[in-house]
Structure 1
Amino acid sequence: MKRSSSNLKKALIILGTIAGVIALAFGGYAFYLYKSITDTASHIHEPIDRGSSDKRAEQINTSSQDPISFLLLGVDERPGDRGRSDTMVVITVNPKKESMIMFSIPRDTRTEIIGRGSEDKINHAYAFGGSQMSVETVENFLDIPIDYYVKVNMEAFKEIVDAVGGVTVDNKLAFKSGGYQFSEGSVDLDGDAALAYSRMRKGDPKGDLGRNERQQQIIKAIIKKGASPKMITKFNDVLGTLETNVKTNLTFDEMKAIQKNYRAALGNTEQFEVKGSGTKINGIYYYIVSDEEKNEITAKLKEHLEID
């Protein structure tokens, strides 16, 4: 249960950073907010080498509303230990279609780790080579380009949810978890309640799949809340959380362009699950995704990204 709780926290943290990134652009209306935002954007900026990617024929242009993709990494980093990306969420955004696709890659998925020359659990890529290796491994696994990554430390979870003033979700299953009673229907959650809501797994008939659905509910709620103009009053809290817990290859100019040109896509989100089966190889548990399943996902994403 402790491991599950940690992993779910990280899953919820990740996409919360997109809410913060989108919210950044609203601060341009006043100088003091603009200065704070640019300082934070500079502090969290951590570029990676994209020259090795062969998944795109041309450079994307956010000002022209080219479809883009994100890899959101939830990591557990401690002093002297890089940690692992126990949560990996892929998002593709097509502003012309005004749609977004979002799904999680199970952390135990067995695949080739690019740069290691061997197969392993996909979340080990971060332990071996950080964000760079994670991006390249996911690109290889899905056969699509990953344009941007956002890495969030697990410590940001409660702060992100609380910084945006809590979130509201539509709960499909009444249950108890972490000392909270969650009824069916609309539920308001603060940081602690969001964690409890998301980590429940054993009491859900759908198991991990149900847990993943609740993770994505909160992710969407954070994005929606973070993109609201009302967030201007909460920027100090959001920026403080981002600065200490987030890294991304997004530049400030790209953040502004995404806020301006891609916001309409946030209201139409398609979610799905990566289907597979669990097995043990040499005594180690792996999640095996068939080539047929991967090909179906790749075709869906390439169409959404408008890649031939």
Structure 2
Amino acid sequence: MQRSRTRQKRKKRKFLSIILLILLVIGAIFAFRLYSSFNNALDNIVNKSALEKSDKRKKEVSLENKEAFTVLLLGVDEREGDKGRSDTMLLMSVNGKENSVEMLSIPRDTRVNIAGKNKKDKINHAYAFGGVDMSAKTVEEFLDIPVDYYVEMNMDGFKDLVDAVGGVTVDNPFAFSYGGQSFKQGTIHLNGEEALQYTRMRKEDPKGDFGRQARQRQVIEGILDKGASMQSLWKYNDILGALKSNMQTNVSVDEMMDIQKHYAGARNNMKQEQIEGTGQKIDGVYYYLVPDEERDRVSSIFKDHLNLQ
């Protein structure tokens, strides 16, 4: 009897060992496929040439040392017959040592000096004049801080990314309808098309463009939360497909890995800043005018966060 039990235990351990080995092999194959797909997708996503190195950086940012860096997110509204405009302009500084993020949505009608053009215009027109680099250089001149990285997203393709992560859940502050979609007040789940319209409405919002910026942040945070979950691993093909078709960035695969390794906790401590100004028409064109002292105030917040003061 004792020998029989011993043999059964050995068979059970052997069986469990075989199951574990099979799981490890499957896991290794899955990890290899994921890494290969990731690298293949990056061939179409990474574009280092679109953004020249900032002259406001004296030395390279060390991601391994968790040094603070900036990212300019451009949501581009591409239009038939022209290059399009940056419908959304979101600046983020990420500090790995403090594990925190500062965010600023720059109103698209903000009147600034367009870098390289020597003219005053709406900040979202910088993209139409000179693409990513002119947008970044205009932001740098406006706030006197470097733009280290960029992420350019086609706003129409934005819905593909939301669908790829299985939709997002947001807390809508008030009921409204826009773009053929109706949004009730309270907690709602959005698919890609709904999320796109949810982030585009601004004229009916009591807070105007600032209310729109808050809704954009909700959706972006929803995508980040879903993308960071284990469940998203099973949707990686859909996610990479959405990114490959609709996104460009100068963040390399190695830099992405470093950011994930050293800055992952920062996404749980995100603070949104707001730049105050007034709306005014100049020569019949509406602009958002930001006083110099307000611009300096916001600039100081980012310089402190980037350890540039």
Matched with 2:168 is 167
3-state secondary structure, aligned to 2:64: helix
Listed one character per residue, the Cα deviations across residues 99-125 of structure 1 (whole Å, up to 9, x for unaligned) are 111121111111111111222111111
Residue pair 2:53, 2:148 contacting (<8 A) in 1 also: no
Matched with 1:180 is 182
- Is 1:62 equivalent to 2:63 in the alignment? yes
Matched with 1:47 is 48
- 2: CA distance between counterparts of 1:167 and 1:282? 41
Shift in alpha-carbon separation, 1:175–1:283, aligned structure 2, 3 A: closer
Residue pair 2:111, 2:122 contacting (<8 A) in 1 also: yes
Listed one character per residue, the Cα deviations across residues 168-225 of structure 1 (whole Å, up to 9, x for unaligned) are 12233344554424232x3222112223433343443323322221111111111111
- Is 1:286 equivalent to 2:284 in the alignment? no
Structure 1 length-normalised TM: 0.85
- 2: CA distance between counterparts of 1:131 and 1:200? 24
Residue pair 1:48, 1:132 contacting (<8 A) in 2 also: no
- 2: CA distance between counterparts of 1:96 and 1:153? 32
Matched with 1:303 is 304
Q: Percent identity?
A: 51
Shift in alpha-carbon separation, 1:232–1:181, aligned structure 2, 3 A: same
User: Which amino acid in the other structure matches residue 76 of structure 1?
Assistant: D
3-state secondary structure, aligned to 2:139: helix
- Is 1:107 equivalent to 2:114 in the alignment? no
3-state secondary structure, aligned to 1:82: coil
Higher relative contact order (CA 8 A, sep 6+): 1
Aligned-residue offset at 1:253: 0.6
Aligned-residue offset at 1:52: 5.5
Listed one character per residue, the Cα deviations across residues 229-273 of structure 1 (whole Å, up to 9, x for unaligned) are 221111111111111111111111111111111110000110122
3-state secondary structure, aligned to 1:30: helix
- 2: CA distance between counterparts of 1:44 and 1:80? 23
- 2: CA distance between counterparts of 1:51 and 1:163? 31
Aligned-residue offset at 1:296: 0.5
Matched with 1:123 is 124
Matched with 1:269 is 270
The list of structure 1 runs, each at least 4 consecutive aligned residues, that deviate by more than 3 angstroms after superposition, is 48-52, 174-179, 199-204
Residue pair 2:156, 2:196 contacting (<8 A) in 1 also: no
Residue pair 1:182, 1:197 contacting (<8 A) in 2 also: no
* Structure 2 unaligned regions, length at least 5: 1-27
Residue pair 1:112, 1:118 contacting (<8 A) in 2 also: yes
* Structure 1 unaligned regions, length at least 5: 1-26
48-57 or 156-165: which moved more? 48-57
Shift in alpha-carbon separation, 1:153–1:196, aligned structure 2, 3 A: closer
Listed one character per residue, the Cα deviations across residues 24-52 of structure 1 (whole Å, up to 9, x for unaligned) are xxx99611111110111121111137666
- 2: CA distance between counterparts of 1:127 and 1:78? 11
Structure 2 length-normalised TM: 0.85
Residue pair 1:101, 1:269 contacting (<8 A) in 2 also: yes
Q: Report the number of matched residues.
A: 281
User: Which amino acid in the other structure matches residue 298 of structure 1?
Assistant: S
